[in-house]
Structure 1
Amino acid sequence: MVRENENFIDFIDYTKEKDYMMNLITYAISPTIAGYKPSSIITISNNYKGMYDLWYKYGDEYINNINLKVFEITRKEKLIILLFYNEKLLAETLFREDNMELLMKFGYSNIMSLDMCLQLLKYRYEGIACPHEVGIFLGIPAKDVEAFINCNGKQCVLCGYWKVYHDREKALKIFENYDRTKENVVKLLKKKIEPIKMIEMLVDEISVKV
């Protein structure tokens, strides 16, 4: 699991409100910005530093400066759940044979468009707090999603960004990539890199020199 960095939180608390919002979201979704992950889901609310209000002040500017699309999954009073996604990578992920085989159990099909899949996910969120298939959208292997659904108390072999039941070594490599992008965000913040410039650098994570 990503190593939470208290210094990072302390650091961004002292920045301007727009930079604070952008830096916090960038940190959370950096593996998706860098192309390691098809999508990231974040919940934005005023329960944490007035983030909901900040999003409505600066969200459009942020969206215009990232290489991702944003889909609103659900909205409640002073709370919004957003999916930040790489359109090409998410489509490839969802329509891969093993993933679609599992998704079909929840009403999806390979003749649906990406937008239709997103709309169905949104609909299912209305009835279920967090539908199981969201794991596929987030890039979790279908075998692990299915094992989690049917685990019946089965112990996972690794607990990180998700509960791993198969291929521990492959999962560890993925977790390392996710961790590295978050660590790069912290290093870039310490260098006082502006949020928009940081996003540009993370688009090609390999080229980030920190």
Structure 2
Amino acid sequence: MGQSQLLSDHVFHTGANAGKDVPAKEPSSRRTVWRDIATRFIEPRECLASFLALESAEVVAGIKPANLFPIPNRTYACGRNPYQLWKKWGKTVVATTPLEAYELTDRGDSVLLLLYRPDALANLLEKPAVRAILARAGYASGVALPQVLDRFARCLAAGAFPHEIGIFLGYPLKDVVGFMGLARIPFTCQGPWKIYGEPQASLCLAETFRCCRSRMAADLSKGASPSVCLTGSSSSNRLPFSSLTENNIQDHRQLRSLRIV
């Protein structure tokens, strides 16, 4: 999955091959961005925490294992530069959370950050379907998480993009496999990522991701502590189910039928 798909706005556009029963879906309001809430938080660590909490809302809620996003090196109207905040306070802020961070690239004008739950990524690596896809992508058998992350970074440094990263961003495995060309699954429609095969489950998952971000934005807009939000202690931002687990079960059945696993 190309970086443009990974970082696109959560707006769904129905493709030419989409079924008539899957209409285009638009968010009910404009997607909240960090500059909308940054002025609420004067203390620099809280300001950075608000940026990270918003960009990793689905991970904080336990719905995604990881999120990938850029931290731009530019000063916003509020006077804050998120890149500088990250470089000064990033390790301190993340250390107080159950999350871990990995800088995939730092080109000076921005950092491309993977913010993730280490237990969730480790669990993904144990799944037969994931191991099968990684093997098809050239990974060694039994590869560990540090080696996977290092390979992502090397790939990006070489000017390429590791499309298999979609697995670790919680995208349906059928969509990752379809995009990588590992199975003949027809392209169905364009969401925050390219969707292949039956679209409904993927669109529902994308809507769940959108709702997580909207809830986090609402909490922060109301003045909730960003550092508390980032730890996942905000009950209003937690959802009572795990779409990721259910989605992986469905994916495994589909991939087995396609002889991927």
Q: TM-score range by the shorter chain?
A: 0.7 to 0.9
Ranges in structure 2 where 5+ consecutive residues have no aligned partner: 1-9, 12-26, 241-261
* Matched residue type, 1:52: Y
TM, length-normalised to structure 2: 0.69
Q: What is the correspondence of 1:108-187 to structure 2 with a 5 Å cutoff?
A: 108-150=139-181, 156-187=187-218
In 1, the alpha carbon distance for the partners of 2:112 and 2:47 equals: 19
When normalised by structure 1's length, the TM-score is 0.84
When the two structures are aligned, how many residues end up with a matched partner?
Answer: 205
For residue 117 of structure 1, report the CA deviation from its aligned partner. 1.6
Aligned residues: percent identity? 24
1:31 is aligned to 58
Post-superposition shift, 1:29?
A: 0.8
Separation of aligned partners in 1, 2:37 and 2:64: 26
The separation in 1 between residues aligned to 2:150 and 2:33, in whole angstroms, is 38
Counterparts of 1:34-49 in structure 2, within 5 Å, are 34-47=61-74, 49=76
More helix by share: 1
Residue in 2 that maps onto 1:83: 114
- How much does 1:188 deviate? 0.9
Provide the residue aligned with 1:195 in structure 2: 226
Distance 1:44 1:184, change over 3 A: same
Change (3 A) 1:8 1:88: closer
C-alpha distance in 2, partners of 1:105/1:127?
Answer: 20
| Partner Cα distance (2:187, 2:73) in 1 | 34
Using CA pairs below 8 Å that are at least 6 residues apart, which structure has the higher relative contact order? 2
Distance 1:72 1:170, change over 3 A: same
Amino acid at match of 1:58: W
Q: CA RMSD in A?
A: 2.6
Deviation at 1:185, TM superposition (A): 1.1
Does structure 1 residue 206 correspond to structure 2 residue 206?
A: no
Q: Look up the SS of the partner of 2:239 in the other structure.
A: helix
Superposition deviation, residue 156 in structure 1: 3.3
**Preserved contact between residue 33 and residue 202 of structure 1 (Cα < 8 Å):** no
Q: Which runs of 5+ in 1 are unaligned?
A: none
